[in-house]
């Protein structure tokens, strides 16, 4: 009888043991779903692509002032370099910020790495693929122009894209992101576009480059203002974290409006530049949001409007130069 009782208790205990994954039985959260095509497209952050388009538009317009010709193949190749670099840096930021934990409490759209919807290695590979595509397009420009020193410029562009948030000491975490964005998305991208087309740089290209750089920095400021509280916690000392909210708002406003002062000056020689004032229809609401927002998420709209301001400004200035 005792033996039968022990067997009965043993069999009953076995029946009562939970089956399957014990973590699920304890109520552990299920793993996040895998990233969809829509997630990958979102991670490319298409709303930032105007920052790649604007300098190419202005640089191409300035090039036409030199020889009164369009160099469409070269211009489109420049656009490919800029767009591939922009997408590459967006994926690289997703990877680097994700593995550091900076995006764990992100205010804006979810990132692939931080949300664990994609493996960090996969995101890194995608970033490197876009950097490689930018490099190939850049090499094509070098071969076409026979300006071999531009290989160094291209290497510097890719390095700047990676070390913004990558590496042991990313400069984006030290408050230098705005400076590098001004240099590479303003001066280098615009003047470089002009140079590879006509091997000359008129002063109009420099004015346009400064304007494009200011607007690119303004977009970054809107982004960093949105994330200012999160970045403080994560130890990411962006310029906004260093100078504070109010100073960031003032700087953003100045950087958005200064390009229009440049356009007014250029309009004295190219009347079509007055059309750039139409871009204020997007710029002024962006400024208003930056000064009156209550929730950080509202700054996503300001960021999009500033990007729209940039590409509209570039398109109108391009038209002024070719008109």
Is residue 23 very low, low, confident or very high in pLDDT (cuts 50, 70, 90)? very low
pLDDT of residue 140: 96
10 Å Cβ neighbour count for 82?
27
Burial 283-322 (b: 16+ CB within 10 A, else e): bebbbebbeebeeeeebbebbbbbbbbbbbbbbbbbbbbb
Q: Assign 13 to helix, strand or coil.
A: helix
10 Å Cβ neighbour count for 7?
10
pLDDT of residue 115: 82
φ/ψ of 50, rounded to 5, equals -55, -25
Contact (Cβ atoms closer than 8 angstroms) between residue 249 and residue 279: no
pLDDT digits (tens, 9 = 90+) for 193-232: 999 999 999 999 999 999 999 999 999 999 999 999 988 9
pLDDT of residue 108: 62
pLDDT of residue 109: 67
How far apart are alpha carbons 160 and 103 in whole angstroms?
21
Residue 271 contacts by C-beta under 8 Å, 6 or more apart in sequence?
Answer: 320
22: pLDDT strictly greater than 90: no
How far apart are alpha carbons 46 and 307 in whole angstroms?
10
10 Å Cβ neighbour count for 86?
23
pLDDT digits (tens, 9 = 90+) for 232-274: 988 889 999 999 999 999 999 999 999 999 999 999 999 999 9
What is the pTM assigned to this prediction?
A: 0.87
How far apart are alpha carbons 57 and 54 in whole angstroms?
5
């Amino acid at each position: 009888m005792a033996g039968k009782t022990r067997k009965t208790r043993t069999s009953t205990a076995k029946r009562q043991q939970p089956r399957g994954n014990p973590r699920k039985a304890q109520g552990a959260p299920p793993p996040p779903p895998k990233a969809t095509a829509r997630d990958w497209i979102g991670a490319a952050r298409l709303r930032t692509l105007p920052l790649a388009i604007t300098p190419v538009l202005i640089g191409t317009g300035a090039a036409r002032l030199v020889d009164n010709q369009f160099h469409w193949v070269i211009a489109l190749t420049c656009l490919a370099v800029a767009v591939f670099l922009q997408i590459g840096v967006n994926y690289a930021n997703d990877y680097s910020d994700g593995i550091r934990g900076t995006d764990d409490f992100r205010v804006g759209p979810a990132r692939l790495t931080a949300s664990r919807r994609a493996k960090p290695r996969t995101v890194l590979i995608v970033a490197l693929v876009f950097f490689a595509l930018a490099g190939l397009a850049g090499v094509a420009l070098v071969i076409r122009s026979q300006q071999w020193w531009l290989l160094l410029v291209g290497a510097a562009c890719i390095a700047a894209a990676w070390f913004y948030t990558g590496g042991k000491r990313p400069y984006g975490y030290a408050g230098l992101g705005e400076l590098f964005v001004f240099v590479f998305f303003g001066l280098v991208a615009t003047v470089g576009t002009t140079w590879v087309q006509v091997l000359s740089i008129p002063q109009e290209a420099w004015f346009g480059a400064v304007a494009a750089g200011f607007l690119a920095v303004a977009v970054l400021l809107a982004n960093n203002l949105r994330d200012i509280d999160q970045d403080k916690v994560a130890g990411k000392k962006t310029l906004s974290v260093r100078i504070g909210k109010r100073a960031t708002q003032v700087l953003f406003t100045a950087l958005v409006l200064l390009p229009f002062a440049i356009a007014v000056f250029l309009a004295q020689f190219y009347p079509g530049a007055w059309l750039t004032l139409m871009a204020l229809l997007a710029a002024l609401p962006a400024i208003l949001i930056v000064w009156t927002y209550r929730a950080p998420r509202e700054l996503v709209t300001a960021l999009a409007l500033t990007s729209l301001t940039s590409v509209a400004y570039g398109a109108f200035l391009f038209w002024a130069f070719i008109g």
